[in-house]
Amino acid sequence: MSNDNKSIHEFDFDLICEYFSFIERQGPGSPEVTRKALSFIDNLNDKSRIADLGCGTGGQTMVLAQNAPGQFTGVDLFSKFIDLFNQNTKKLNLQNRVKGITGSMENLPFQEEEFDLIWSEGAIYNIGYERGLNEWRKSLSPGGFIAVSEASWFTEKRPEEIHKFWMEAYPEIDTIPNKVAQLQKAGYVPVATFILPENCWTEHFYVPQVAAQKAFLKKYAGNKTAEELIANQRHEAELYSKYSAYYGYAFYIGKKL
């Protein structure tokens, strides 16, 4: 495959996007969990404005829109994900209420207090949990809700191998009580917290990747970047099966004071 006109950096992003666009979700989660988190949000109506930050191709956004009233805006850094997102809205006949835009969660193209609900599944780590909670609060109306899923430790101590992995991957991972305290400190009333069940990682995330990995390695045989990407994904899946008692994702839902 030729990548003559592209920097390695751009090519990597394209490759990563292509890989993840094979699967419905780009992070751990499930329709059941999205609906459960949504059940803690009050007062949505047809005029409500909802943003889904780091929406990917929109797996969870579509579930939200099918289960709640309002106008939805999905934001993702990668325009290829947004293209797929907008194709999905049409397939599900949601295009009048749901729109995907390319943009960064670090520099939201919104007005102050524009949204009644800010959603983000498996994506706030890109800006960092505390920074995201603090900065996104400006875009929420008073009494508005925030709902994010975030990597969390389940125990005070854990085996060295998994501790080291996360300290390199995302040192802001923390215990659930500490994450709830950070939510409160950022100006939200903690409304609900729950741990995502293991099937969000296995059945809905790692299992669909097995077929995608085979197809991808065949298509990009001999491509070092593709091989490295797949090796990393497989390593993550192995770590999860070994250490799922110690970490996972938790949903954190708060209401702006």
Q: Which residues bind ligand SAM (CB under 6 A)?
A: 25-27, 29, 54-56, 59-60, 75-78, 81, 104-106, 121-123, 126
The residue type of 136 is: W
Work out how close the CB of 117 gets to ligand SAM at its nearest, in angstroms, rounded to a whole number: 15
Of 63, 121, 123, 67, which is closest to residue 88 (Cα–Cα)?
63
Q: Cβ of residue 167: shortest distance to ligand SAM, in angstroms?
A: 19
Q: What distance in Å separates the CA atoms of residue 171 and residue 167, rounded to the nearest whole number?
A: 4
Sign of CA dihedral 52, 53, 59, 60: negative
CB of 95 to ligand SAM, least distance (A): 19
Give whichever of 48 and 120 is closer to ligand SAM, judged by the CB atom. Answer: 120
Nearer to ligand SAM, 59 or 144 (CB): 59
What is the Cα–Cα distance from 60 to 37, expressed in whole angstroms? 11
Which residue reads 């995302």 in tokens?
170
Minimum distance between the CB of residue 132 and ligand SAM, rounded to whole angstroms?
10
For the bound state, the minimum distance from the C-beta of residue 222 to ligand SAM, rounded and expressed in Å, comes to 26
* Least gap, CB of 123 to ligand SAM (angstroms): 4
**Complex with ligand SAM: residue 10 or 43, whichever CB lies closer:** 10
Read off the tokens for 11.
Answer: 């090519």
- Which is closer to ligand SAM, CB of 160 or CB of 225? 225
Alpha helices, H only, 57-102: 59-67, 79-91
26 or 182: CB nearest ligand SAM: 26
* Polymer length of the chain: 257
Instruction: Look up residue 152 and give its DSSP letter.
Output: E
- Among 180, 147, 146, 136, which residue's Cα sits nearest to residue 29? 147
In the complex, minimum distance from the CB of residue 97 to ligand SAM, in angstroms, rounded to a whole number? 18
Listed in sequence order, the residues at least 6 apart from 11 whose beta carbon sits closer than 8 Å to its beta carbon are 3, 225
Q: How far is CA 221 from the centre of its chain?
A: 29
**Cβ nearer to ligand SAM, comparing 73 with 159:** 73
Read off the amino acid at residue 147: A
227 versus 236: smaller Cβ distance to ligand SAM = 236
